[in-house]
Every structure is written in C-alpha cells, then in structure tokens.
Structure 1
Amino acid sequence: MPLKLTICFSACCWLWLGFNPSVSAQEIEPRTYSNAPIGINFIGLGITQAQTSNYTLNSQALSYNHIFDFFGQSAKFNVVTPYAEVHGTAKSGNQVVNVAAQGFTDPVIRVATNLYGAPALTAEEFKTYVQDLIIGANLAVLIPWGEYHSNQVLNVGANRSFIQPGLGASQAVGPWRFELASDATFFSNNNNYMGGNTLSQKPIYSTTGHVIYYFPSSAWISTDVTYYSGGQSAVNGTMRNHSQENWLMGATLSIPINKRNAIKFHGSEGTYSNPHKNYTLYGIGWQYRWGPGT
C-alpha cells in the first residue's frame, strides 16, 4: 500500500469538471497499489497550485493514511480534508466579471485493498518482502460538506457527492515499478445549482500509467500519464457540453529526510484537451510516518 501523501486530490479534476475544486478525486498519484507493513500510519500536509488561462486554484490539504489487514492482503484507509482559494474571470451575459471563492472543500474518503501479491505483513516480516505483481482495487467517496453558495458562479464545495471504484496493477522489475490503473467516477445531482436548478453529470472514465524508479536511498521518482473521457453535464436535463477528453503528463519526486519524514514534489501539465481546458499544476508536500518498526 502506498508510502505516499495524497495532497492535491488533483485539482486537475476541479479544472476538468467546470472549475469546482471539491470534485477532485481523479489522481495522477503513483504507488496507489504497493505494499507496506500493517499498522503503519501516515499524516501529511501539502500545498498545490493549479492554473488555467481563466482560473487559479491554491489548495492546502491535510491527509491521514492507515495500513491494515484485509483478508490476508494489505489495505489502506485514507481521508483528505482540503481547504482552497480560487479566483479568476467568468462570463455573465456579454460581460467578463471577476469571481472568487474560498473555504473548506469536500472531504474524500478512500479505501484501497490489494487483492494479489501484497500480503499483510508485520514490520519484521516486511524486511524480507520482495514485490513481483500486485493487483488491487479501491473505492473513493466524496462527502458534500464543503462551502457552497448556490448564487455564486464559483464555489469550493460541490453540493453533490460521487463514488469512484477502480482497479489497478503494479509490476516490479528490479528497481523499477510499472503501474496501470482505471477508475470510473459516478456523480449525484446538485439540486441547488445557480438558484434551484438541477446540475447532472455523466460518469468520467480514466486510465493512469506510472513508471517509477527507486534509488538505493529509498527516494523515488515517477513519470505519470492520465487519460480522461466522458463527463458531459446537463442543467435541468438540457446538455450544456459534449463528451470531453484530456491527456495529462506529470512527474513526482519523493525524498526521505529521515526514517519518519519525507518531502515530495509533484507537477503535471495538460497536453491535450477537448474542449481546450489545459492546465498546469505543481505542489509540495510533507509526510510523517509512525507505527510498528518506525
């Protein structure tokens, strides 16, 4: 299970879904399907900025991860509570107006379990573990507790929930890891959109790949690519856009400071988008680890 910090809850999905930072479970994070000793805990803090030609999002997030035994395989419970400030310009009729919002965004809870190749191990047993092929599954849920005002063009809360199941695999070849994962995100309706209208959205489907290299120091670096499609939205049953797609490229570098602390740098870029909603994202995070063997 991941020795990682999920901090941005990818503002890429915020940009992708009509500039709502809370609807952001699509990840370009590597190492979702890996192994770790049972009972290990991680807490992290992160800062991320995402930009398009019209909007800038600054987000700060607190995350907690716990590794546990799930029918003999390692599993992870993860919760992320973000705070965000977003500002930019939007059209109101024929006029361009400045818009801004800030506050706590919607928390996301995720449970991920490895199904094959990542046995639940104690800290002592984990010392001799060597990865081969890992297959896993995860389920994320967004809880609509973020700040939302129906009369605002821009909000940090979504006033709707989603559920996101996913499957993935990780193959080890020496110091390299090759990961592939797919997710589908299903949305509930926002029944108080812009003064009592109903906003609905079709599912978003995504596929993500990572190539990761581990250094002898236990630092690691990853190159990442994600493809999204779907996500058509409608207001009161009337479609307001067509099917969308996006290619994202990114990189992540994790550097251990000592046995319990690590720092991570990450960035990603939209390389293709239909419609044209490319973005740039970068951030930094800190992680603290505690539990058996630390």
Structure 2
Amino acid sequence: MKNGSNMASLPAWLRLALIMMAMALLPLQAQGQVPARFYWKSLVGANGTPIIFNSLSGNTNPFDPSHQVLPGGAVDATLAIAGYARTFALGERSAMAAILAPMGRVSGEVTVAGKSFNKAANGYGDPLLEFDVNVIGPTAQRIIPDILRYEPGFSLDLLADLAIPLGQYDSSQPLNLGQNRWYGRLGAPMVVQFGPWVPGRRTTLELLPAVWFFGKNTDFVGQTLKTDPLFQLDAHLTRDLTESFWGALDATYYEGGKSRINGVGGKKLNNFGFGLTFGYQINENLNLTVGYKSTLAQAASADPRIDTFMMTLVFGWHPLLEGARRLKEAQ
C-alpha cells in the first residue's frame, strides 16, 4: 500500500480532473470583478469553498459595485470574502450556484452633498447570490470521461447575481459595508478557446458583458441616492505557463452608472481598468490566485480611482474524484 497524496503520483486523467474542478470553482472577486477561468466547466456535483483577501484604495467605496465617485475622497479598505459554490446540471447544460459573504473594514475622508466625513466602518457586507447556466458549448460533464473530452471551443452562459441588503449600514455616514439597497446584474460570460486543449498549452479569450441594476437608497446620509444602470465588460487573455501554473492579462470597461443625490446628478462612468493575474494549483484540492488591477484616471479628475490587490485560496472537492484518488493511493 502507498501512502501520501502526491499529485505527481496520480494518473494523468485524475490529475486533469482535479485541476479542472478546482479552476472551475474560482470565486467572484470583490463586487463583481470576475477572475479569469471562472466560467470553465467541471464535473457535475463539484464543490468549492473560497477565501478571498482584497486590499483596495481609491476615491470610491470598494464595497459598492456602482463605483460612485466620492470627489476628493481617499478611501482604504480591507475586504475578505468567504463562500460556497456547487456545480450541477439543468437538463443537458452545466450550471453553477454560489453564495459569497463579504466582511472587512473601510475608512477614509470623503465629501458628500457639501459635507465632509472622516469615518471608518467594519463588519459584514451584503451577501451575494449567483446563478450561472451554459447555453452554448459542451454539454454537462456527468462522468469522468466527460472531463477528458471537455474543450470549451466557444461557450456562452447566462448569468444572474443578486445582492441582499443585509450588510452593516450607518445612515449617518457615506462609507458603509452594506449598501442599504438591492442590486444585482445580468451577464453573458463567453469563453473562446485557441489551439489545443492540452494542460500546459491552453489559451483562452474570455469576455463578460454585464449590466448592473441598483435600487434606491432612501437614507444615504439623510438623502435619497439613485444610480442609473452600469454596463461593465471584463476581458481576460489567459495562457498556461505549465500544467498547474497560468497567467492572464485583464481589462475592464465601465459605462454609465450615473448617481444622483436628491436629484442632483454626478458624472457617468466611461473608464478602463487593467491588471494581471496568476493562478497556481498547489495540490489536488487547493488553488491559489493572485492579481492586481488599477483603473486609468487622473488624480484630480472625477473619474473613479481603484487600485486592487487580490489573493484567493479555493478548496475544491468532488466525492467521485476523491474516491478515485483514494483507490489509486491504496494500490
């Protein structure tokens, strides 16, 4: 009998299945910033639990996906997110459901409606629910041979997110972890495969066009905050560097999302952000992702300035694959 769980000792098909499972369960970044390879598909019944750490700074509240600019603001935040994701099948199509619970702290000096605030808040943000289903691409992977045959080719999903306004909120200040309003998005994640689908040689272009919708906050420092819908486009060009190490060039575009406080309008967004992400499969269950992203903005302008460093650990498992691994190790 052999002991241990050295991934190199596992057969190639099992290594591939475990890597694909963990990569397919990478979580959402803070407030809808989607990492590369999130919408790759995996075996039905896979589970994942992420722990995400973000360090953010700029002139917007990083807990607010509307990216409302706080003129002259200097905001710093530490954001941690814990969650759970599971893959399943809807008919012949792959689907996934996830829940994410943000927590952390935010502080800064901002001016809202002519009043200056120097405040800090900590606690829990608004929990986020996500549902995703594939509509074009390979059918759901129900057995291990389906993983070996999987190639995304061109894949198209339909996506829906909903944030529930349960986070900590203080109406006397503009910086909060909860947003005191419902919000969510509808999107269409796409994956385009280039070249062979061989570990160590995989290349993809991934796009996520989405529209965010925001309810009213009727008690935003004693006033009413309304936000127009915000269009957001995330793009990633990814490439395997080894069988278990990959990198991605990231870009984001924002359009719209004009905010109004008691009917007085701000500036709508029309901005780009760029970044870099690296991912590494530590072992058969654990995946590490590290990334940095920054918006393009002039320091004195009304454009959103957001600098984000993110580190993510995802523990993924599947009863079928765990059983196959234990059988192999017992031989």
TM-score range, shorter chain: 0.7 to 0.9
Distance in 1 (alpha carbons) for counterparts of 2:114 and 2:261: 20
1:250 to 249, 270, 275: 275
Aligned: 1:171 with 2:199 = no
Aligned: 1:138 with 2:159 = yes
Q: Measure how far apart 1:277 and its partner are.
A: 2.5
- Three-state SS of the structure 2 residue aligned to 1:159 is coil
Aligned: 1:107 with 2:135 = no
Aligned: 1:121 with 2:158 = no
Distance in 1 (alpha carbons) for counterparts of 2:113 and 2:160: 40
Other-structure match for 2:224: 198
Aligned: 1:183 with 2:203 = no
Report which of the two has the higher share of strand. 1
The one-letter code sitting in structure 2 at the alignment partner of 1:277 is P
Distance in 2 (alpha carbons) for counterparts of 1:92 and 1:181: 32
Q: Measure how far apart 1:70 and its partner are.
A: 1.7
Q: Measure how far apart 1:133 and its partner are.
A: 1.1
Q: Given the two structures, how large is their TM-score scaled by the length of structure 1?
A: 0.88
Other-structure match for 1:20: none
Check whether the contact 1:233–1:240 (CA below 8 A) recurs between aligned residues: yes
Distance in 1 (alpha carbons) for counterparts of 2:150 and 2:54: 34
Distance in 2 (alpha carbons) for counterparts of 1:57 and 1:108: 19
Distance in 2 (alpha carbons) for counterparts of 1:37 and 1:212: 22
Distance in 1 (alpha carbons) for counterparts of 2:112 and 2:191: 47
1:24-65 deviation digits (Å, cap 9, x = unpaired): 23x242224321110000101111111126010100110211
Q: 1:93 to 1:188 in 2, by over 3 A?
A: closer
Q: Measure how far apart 1:121 and its partner are.
A: 0.9
Bigger radius of gyration:
2
Within 5 Å, give how 1:23-102 maps onto structure 2: 24-25=31-32, 27-52=33-58, 54-91=74-111, 97-102=117-122
1:239 to 253, 264, 270: 264
The one-letter code sitting in structure 2 at the alignment partner of 1:182 is P
Distance in 2 (alpha carbons) for counterparts of 1:118 and 1:45: 29
Distance in 2 (alpha carbons) for counterparts of 1:95 and 1:202: 23
- Three-state SS of the structure 2 residue aligned to 1:126 is helix
Other-structure match for 1:15: none
- Three-state SS of the structure 2 residue aligned to 1:118 is coil
Check whether the contact 1:252–1:267 (CA below 8 A) recurs between aligned residues: yes
Within 5 Å, give how 1:262-281 maps onto structure 2: 262-272=287-297, 275-281=302-308
Q: 4+ residue stretches of structure 1 with deviation over 3 A? A: 91-97
Q: Measure how far apart 1:97 and its partner are.
A: 4.6
1:199-242 deviation digits (Å, cap 9, x = unpaired): 11100001121101124423221111010011111123x13302
Other-structure match for 1:293: 321
Instruction: List runs of 5+ in structure 2 lacking aligned partners.
Output: 1-20, 60-73, 196-201, 323-331
The count of aligned residue pairs is 277
Aligned: 1:159 with 2:149 = no
Distance in 2 (alpha carbons) for counterparts of 1:212 and 1:68: 25
Identity within the alignment, % = 22
The one-letter code sitting in structure 1 at the alignment partner of 2:46 is I
1:68-117 deviation digits (Å, cap 9, x = unpaired): 10221111111110102011112378885521111100011010111111
Distance in 2 (alpha carbons) for counterparts of 1:168 and 1:157: 27
Distance in 1 (alpha carbons) for counterparts of 2:54 and 2:143: 32
Other-structure match for 2:199: none
Check whether the contact 1:58–1:85 (CA below 8 A) recurs between aligned residues: yes
The one-letter code sitting in structure 1 at the alignment partner of 2:227 is Q
Instruction: List runs of 5+ in structure 1 lacking aligned partners.
Output: 10-23
State which drifts further: 212-221 or 100-109.
212-221
Distance in 2 (alpha carbons) for counterparts of 1:92 and 1:215: 47
1:148 to 169, 172, 179: 169
Report which of the two has the higher share of helix. 2
Q: 1:57 to 1:8 in 2, by over 3 A?
A: farther
Q: Given the two structures, how large is their TM-score scaled by the length of structure 2?
A: 0.78
Distance in 1 (alpha carbons) for counterparts of 2:38 and 2:203: 15
